[in-house]
Amino acid sequence: MRDQNDEAQGVKPPGGEFRMNDRRVIVCLVISSLMCLATLAIVVVGLVVDIPEPVINKRVVAVLVGGCGVVLSLILFASNWPKYGQRVEVFAEGFHFHKGGQTSTVLWDDVAAVWRSSSTIGGSRLIVETDLWIEVRHGKTIYLTSFFLDMAQLVEIVLAETSRRMLPAMTSQLQRGQTVAFGAAEVSATQLVVAGKGLAWDDVHAINVAHGAIDVLRKPDRRSWYYIPIKKMPNYHLFLELAEKLLKS
């Protein structure tokens, strides 16, 4: 059933299909296969070819280097193979995740946490790729790889829909004097607590988000008080929204 708030506000519920970039997956599979053959050839050369003295050292090096290359290429192949043919169908109440002939249905109301890992180039603030892990209550974790086409749009939908449902409950917790946990960090109406140390919201100068990390700066020296990569904080987007509200209030 469509959310009544959407109908009242005239907001169009999310929808659409997001497919895997299968060409990219195939390229990765081909590269890992060629890498496996090349490194396997090194192992064969080390074992078969007549190597000048000292034979043992050179053969050991060739076998070890080739063996490590074979293992690495097999890991790359195994990690990319399941990505082929994946797709996500988004509807108003959640999404269907199709992988390897199986379909998992995830409702937005059942999402417990969202983890995000983003990569940048050098010191640039521009996000190049993003991976998402969606933890479902009493269920498994869905991994959405950056190999998806239009991944940026899919990320926006997931963050917006989970925020719309989870933020009111967290705000209510704070109003009742309770705390909300985001991994190692705990948020209350009066302060941010990390590893037993607290920083009052009045003493927070700013919260910066750059290079895939969150940096909490304290007053008056504007030094970093708490720094954490986004990928290590569950529901980082909700942390930022709550912090913004508390700083304004």
- DSSP letter for 20, please: B
| In a shared domain, residues 198 and 231 | yes
Give the Cα-Cα-Cα angle 16, 168, 235 (nearest 5 degrees): 65
| In a shared domain, residues 221 and 235 | yes
| In a shared domain, residues 160 and 230 | no
Question: Coil, strand or helix: which one is 130?
Answer: strand
Residue 39 domain-assigned (yes or no): yes
| In a shared domain, residues 192 and 157 | no
Residue 2: predicted pLDDT: 40
Domain that holds residue 231: 179-248
The tens place of each residue's pLDDT in the chain, 249 residues long, gives 344 444 334 445 566 889 988 898 899 899 999 999 888 888 887 777 766 666 556 777 777 888 888 898 899 889 888 889 999 999 999 999 999 889 999 999 999 999 998 765 444 444 567 899 999 998 889 999 999 998 989 999 999 999 999 999 999 999 999 999 999 999 999 999 998 899 999 999 999 988 788 999 999 999 999 999 999 999 999 999 999 999 987
Instruction: Quote the CA–CA distance of 66 and 62 in Å, as a whole number.
Output: 6
Q: Are 235 and 114 in contact (CB under 8 A)?
A: yes
- 14 cis-preceded (ω within 30 degrees of 0): no
Count of beta carbons in the 10 Å neighbourhood of residue 176: 8
As given in the structure block, the two tokens for residue 13 are 């519920």
| In a shared domain, residues 128 and 15 | yes
| In a shared domain, residues 99 and 116 | yes
Instruction: Quote the CA–CA distance of 213 and 139 in Å, as a whole number.
Output: 28
Predicted structure pTM score = 0.79
Written as one letter, the residue type at 31 is: I
Residue 11: predicted pLDDT: 41
| In a shared domain, residues 103 and 12 | yes
Alpha-helix residue ranges (DSSP H) falling in 18-54 = 22-48
Instruction: Quote the CA–CA distance of 181 and 194 in Å, as a whole number.
Output: 10
The residue from 145, 167, 189 where one domain ends is 167
The residue from 167, 197, 226 where one domain ends is 167
Number of domains observed in the structure of the chain? 3
| In a shared domain, residues 238 and 135 | no
The residue from 57, 83, 109 where one domain ends is 83
Residue 39: predicted pLDDT: 87
Residue 174 domain-assigned (yes or no): no
Residue 187: predicted pLDDT: 96
Written as one letter, the residue type at 115 is: W
| In a shared domain, residues 103 and 120 | yes
